[in-house]
Chains A and B, each alone.
Chain A
C-alpha cells in the first residue's frame, strides 16, 4: 500500500477499512520510530504507546485538514510530536514548582548564576587529563537529563532542532505559536539550557578536541 497523499485523502473521505489499513501499515512500518522518539522523551514505553496512539486517532479526526501535496507521513509525524509536547506540558504543569532559574527578563537569577559559577569552578579544577571520554559523556547526559526534567518541552524541541535541523517555521508549526512567540521560545531554550549544561561546559576546554 502506498502511503501517499491521494491514498490518505481517499481513506479520510471513505473511512472504514481504508483507515484501518492505514493505521495498521503506519504502525507496522513507522511505528517503531514514533514509539522510540516518544519513549526517549517520556522515559517510558507505556507512556509512549499512549501518546503515539492518541496522535494516530487525532490524525484521523483531523484528516480533513491535511493539505497536500506534502507527504502525509510528515504531517502524521508532526501530530505525533504535537501530542508529545502537549503531554510533556501537562506533566510539567502537574509537577511541583521548582525555584526559578531566571528573572522576568530571562536572565539568570543571582543565586542561579552563583551556582553556575561555583559548579564551573569545581569542574575546571578537575585535572583535565583524568577525564575520560565516557566521563564527559556521563556528565553531559546527567546535565541533559536534569534540563529535560526541568524543561521537558524546551529540551525535546532543542533535541529535534539538533537532530532534524528544524527551522523557525517548523518550530512554529510544532508549537502552534506565532512567529514572535516562537522567537521568544527559542531565546528561552538557550537561557534555560545554559545553567544545566554549565558543569559540562566547564569540563570541556578549548585545548580538548571537540566531542
Chain B
C-alpha cells in the first residue's frame, strides 16, 4: 500500500510548482536576482530571487525574523544588497536612492504626515515631482474619490479611522504611478472585519493601476485575500513561490505546508502511520481530506479522541497507535456522530497525499507560524 502512495506522490511532485514565468512580462515588472544581505554575521536575506509581472500581487509570507522587512527595505532602497540586482520595469535600481526609485510604500502604521491634510498627504508625491498645480488639483480629488474618501480631503489624519488612514496611505502611494508597490503588513493594525474590504480594495486598485505589488505579511489570510501568487520565506530564504493553490496543495516542505494551513505531517511505512520527526522526509495530508468511515472501510483504524466546533468546520482528532490525525469536516452544526473512545476508520483519496522534502536541520517546530 505504501509503495502505491509513493508512486502517486511522485507523479504529483513531477508537476512543476514553480509558476509559469513569462520572461517578457516580468521584465516590465520587478526582478530581484540573487540578492543577499548580511548584518555582521547574521544573514538577513540569502540568495533570494523572484519576479513579478505588472499588476501582479505577490504575497510573501513568513514568521517574524524571516527577513521580510529586510527584503522590503531592499526594495524601497533604505538598504542596499551585498550581492545581487534589483530591477523595476527593466531598469536596474540596485544603487538608486529611495527618492528616485519610484516605489510606493505602505506601512502597517500608515506613516501619514500628521500635520498635513489628507489632500496634502496624497498630493505630496506629485509636488515632489513638480507636477503643475492644476493637475494636482485635478488628480488628488480623483484619487481620493477612488478610495472612497472624496469628502475627507481637508481632514487631518488623526480625524480619520484606521481603515480610512490606510486608504489615504494607499492613495498616496499609488498616485505617483510607482514602478512597484511595497506593502508592509498593511492590514496588521486594522480590525479583522475591516481587513476584508481593504483587501478587495487593494486588489482592485493594484490590478487597475497595473503596478506590480509585493505584500509582506505573517497573516495567511492576507495571502488568501489579496495575492495572485504567494511565496513562503524563512530565515532569509525563499522556500517556495507559486499560485495559492499550488503552494497550498503541493507544499515542498512541512514548514510551507503548515504555514498556509492545518496539516497532518506523517510518515507512512509498511501499513503503519507515525508522526514525522525533525529533518525526516514525510508526507502531508490536509485535514479536510481525511474522511471518517467505518473501522473496516478505512486505510487505518483508530480511536476517536474528540472534536471541536470551529465555526465553518468541525475538527476531529483520531488516535492511531499514538499518532494523532486531524480530520476537518464542514461544520453544519450537527453532531459529528462519534463518541470519545469509539473505534473509527480513516481514509483519503490517494491524490491528496503530498510528499515533502525534509525540513532543514535547523527547523524549530516552535517557530512562530501564522
Q: Report whether chain A binds chain B.
A: no
Interface residues of B (CB under 8 A from A): none
